Chain A
Amino acid sequence: MISPVFEWVAQELGATTGLGRPVCRGVVRSALELALFQPEAVSPAQMKMVIERLLADGIRRAGVPEPEQVCARLASALDSQHFETRTPESPDEIFDRLIRR
C-alpha cells in the first residue's frame, strides 16, 4: 500500500504546478528512489528531506519554472499536514528515539 505521505505530496505537486497526476507521481517516485526510500514506507520526516534536497531537479526537468520555491512551499505545507491514515514510523525514527531519548 502506497504511503499517504506520497499520495499527498504527489497530489499537492499537481495542484501547485499544473502537472498531470502520472507525471507528479513519477517525479516524486524518482526523487524517493534516489534517496533509497520506497513510496510504500516513506515517513513525513523522510519525505521532507527528499523534498528539500532532491525534488527540485525532477520538477525542473518536468518544465516547471522556479522549482525551489515549489519545494519550499511543499515542505512547509507538509509540516502542517496531519494525515488521517496514520503513517507508521520508520525504523530510523524508532531507533533514533531509542538511542537518544
Chain B
Amino acid sequence: MVGMAGIAAFFVVGLAVSIRLLGVWHKTRRMPELLAGLGLLGIGPLGFCVLMAGISFFRGTPLAHTIGVAAVGIQDLGFVASVLFTWLVFRPSTRWAQVLAFGISIALALTFAALVSMPPAHGPSLQFHADVGLKILSLGWGALEALRYWRVARQRVAIGFADPLVSASFLAWGVALASGALGFLIIYVAVLSLEPGQALGNGVQLLLSLCGIVTAIGLYLSLLPPKSYARHLAESARQVAAG
C-alpha cells in the first residue's frame, strides 16, 4: 500500500497526458505527438494496467507469466516510441542519435523475443538485466536531452527569444523522465537483492512512490500546465527582462 500513492498519481496523470497527446495527434497528424502519446500510454497506464491485472487476478496461475510477458511487450513498445520521440525532437539531424534510437529499439525487440522464447526464470536472467538496462538508458537519454535543451532555452527566455512556458516544459519533461529512470534503477537494485518470491520492502515502495509522484508532477507541468503556472512563468520572465 505504501507505494500505491505515487503509482496511482503516475497512472492518472499519465493517462490524462497520453490521451491529450493522442488528441493533439488526431488534429495534427504529426509524428512527435503520436510517439509521445503512445510512449507514455505504453510505459505508463496501459503496460501498468496489464501488469497489475496479472499480479492481482492471476498470481500463481499459469496465466500470470503470459500476462507479465504481455505487459513487458506493451511497455517495450512504449519505450520504442519514447526513444524515437527523443531522437526526432531533440536531435533529428544527428546520425549517432538516429543510430542510438534504432539500436535501443532493436535491442528491446530482441530482449522481448528472448523473454517470449524462454521458460519463466526463477531469478534475474540475462534478459532481465538487458531489458531494465535498456529502459533506464531510454529514459536517461531523454532526460539528458531535455535538460540540456532547457539550459539553452532558459537563457533564450532571458533575452526574449523563447517562451517561458515552453522552456519550463523542457525542465519538467526532463525531471519526469529522470525520475522514471531512477524508479527503474530502484526496482532493478531491489530485485537483485531479493530472494525469489520475496516482496518489495516498505522503504523501496516508498522510494518508488516518490518517483511516481515526481514523474506525475513533471508530466503535468510539462504537458498539461495550469493557467496560473503559465501566468507565474510569464510574469517571472517579464521581471527578469525588466531588471
Contacts and interface: CB of A to CB of B under 8 A. Distances in A.
B30 A97 contact: yes
A41 B92 CA distance: 9
Contacts of A34: 159
Interface stretch (B75-83, B102-110, B150-158): B150-158
Given A36-B156, A92-B166, A96-B166, A101 B225 contact: no
B93 A40 contact: yes
A96 B163 contact: yes
Given A35-B161, A99-B169, A99-B225, A92 B153 contact: yes
Contacts of A1: 93
Interface string A10-52: 0000000000000000000000001111001100001001100
Contacts of A96: 163, 166
B24 interface: yes
Contacts of A49: 161
A35 B166 CA distance: 16
Query: Which of A36, A95, A101 neighbours the largest number of chain B CB atoms within 10 Å of its CB?
Result: A95
Given A35-B161, A91-B149, A101 B166 contact: no
Contacts of A94: 32, 89
Q: Would you call the interface of chain A mostly helix, strand, loop, or mixed?
A: helix
Q: Would you call the interface of chain B mostly helix, strand, loop, or mixed?
A: helix
Interface residues of A, number: 22
A47 B90 CA distance: 18
B92 A88 contact: yes
Interface residues of B, number: 31
B21 interface: yes
Interface in B142-195: 149, 152-153, 155-156, 159-163, 165-167, 169-170, 173
B122 interface: no
B163 A98 contact: no
Given A97-B33, A98-B223, A91 B170 contact: yes
A5 B225 CA distance: 32
A34 to B, nearest CB: 8
11 contacts: A34-B159, A49-B161, A88-B92, A91-B89, A92-B163, A92-B167, A95-B166, A97-B32, A98-B21, A98-B36, A101-B27
Given A36-B159, A95-B173, 14 more contacts: A35-B159, A35-B161, A37-B161, A49-B161, A53-B161, A91-B153, A92-B163, A92-B166, A92-B167, A97-B24, A97-B33, A98-B169, A99-B223, A101-B28
Interface of B: 21, 24, 27-28, 30, 32-33, 36, 89-90, 92-93, 149, 152-153, 155-156, 159-163, 165-167, 169-170, 173, 222-223, 225
Interface of A: 1, 34-37, 40-41, 46, 49-50, 53, 88-89, 91-92, 94-99, 101
The 4 closest A-B pairs by CB, nearest first: A88-B92, A35-B161, A101-B24, A94-B32
